[in-house]
Amino acid sequence: MKQDQAATMLTQSVTRALAILSCFSDEQPELRGIDFAKKLGLTQSNVSRLLTTMVSLGYVEKDGMSGFYRLGPEIVSLGGIALNNYEIRKQALPELHELESKLGLGANLAVLYGGQMFYLAHVDSHKSPRMYTMIGRRNPLHCTGIGKVLLAYSDRVNAEAIIEEEGLPSYTKKTITDSGILFGQLDEVRRNGYAVEHEELALGRACIAAPVKGRSGQVVGGISISGPLSDMNLPQREHELSAILIEATDRVSMKMGYITATYNRL
């Protein structure tokens, strides 16, 4: 009986420690002990004990001046290990750098995770480098280029389930919020082999995305090129940019084990 109680307490402690880590976000990268207690419905003494242990292990850091907690170096190490284990990221990175070098546009790699697109890699345009990383961030599917690609190549039942769960929230006046219109656009994505997003997530920006396929032919991720409207210039450059992007994603797909029909004929 005592062993069962000890196991239950240990499981509870692990669950609470993971819950503490999940409290951090881009909006709240630093938190006080009382913030965790409020978010998780725990006593401050319980939170304090957990945080003390997590600090000692390097999963959380405490600022000695402000008293705020932030994620520790062990999390960065684990993140690096996780990223390096994604085969699609290894194969796509050289192509992302080549796209940025050739086009002067940002290049991104993302996969489907939990009903959203999840960034595994990005290469900033040298014209406007970001002061933060996109890796690990998530974005909605219905108003992003890669998101549309991932939806378009999902089976209809799964795509409908995602939309039902996530909804179609509006981010700009150009965001598609009607499922009928969205599915019509997804049909066009499959016909063209690429997706276009034009100020649907953020004003002043656009992107083009294309699928990356795995050995079985199933879409396992997407790559996009993005930038300001003036640099993308979709009315004049859509055909040029989409052709270059599709060539790049085809090369990544082949590295992932997918053999295209053209390659088979050779």
pTM confidence score: 0.86
Among the listed residues 178, 212, 182, the one whose alpha carbon sits nearest the alpha carbon of residue 86: 212
Strand 195-198's sheet: what is its strand order?
138-139, 116-123, 106-113, 219-228, 205-213, 195-198
The pLDDT value given to residue 262: 46
The pLDDT value given to residue 197: 97
Q: Classify residue 41 by its DSSP letter.
A: T
Whether residue 29 contacts residue 70, with contact meaning beta carbons closer than 8 Å, is answered with yes
Residues 80-90 have pLDDT tens digits of 999 989 999 99
The pLDDT value given to residue 125: 86
Query: Which domains are present in the chain?
Result: 2-72 (1.10.10.10), 86-265 (3.30.450.40)
What are the C-alpha distances in Å from 126 to residues 69, 97, 131, 179? 33, 11, 12, 37
The pLDDT value given to residue 2: 57
Could you count the other beta carbons within 10 Å of the beta carbon of residue 96? 22
The pLDDT value given to residue 21: 95
CA distance 266 to 257: 16
Could you count the other beta carbons within 10 Å of the beta carbon of residue 117? 28
What's the pLDDT band for 265 if we cut at 50, 70, 90? very low
Above 80 in pLDDT, residue 175? yes
Residues 2-13 have pLDDT tens digits of 556 555 666 888
Above 70 in pLDDT, residue 258? yes
The pLDDT value given to residue 11: 80
Above 60 in pLDDT, residue 1? no
Above 60 in pLDDT, residue 167? yes
What's the pLDDT band for 196 if we cut at 50, 70, 90? very high
Mean pLDDT score, 185-209: 96
Among the listed residues 213, 259, 251, the one whose alpha carbon sits nearest the alpha carbon of residue 97: 251
Above 90 in pLDDT, residue 61? yes
Residues 9-29 have pLDDT tens digits of 668 889 999 999 999 988 899
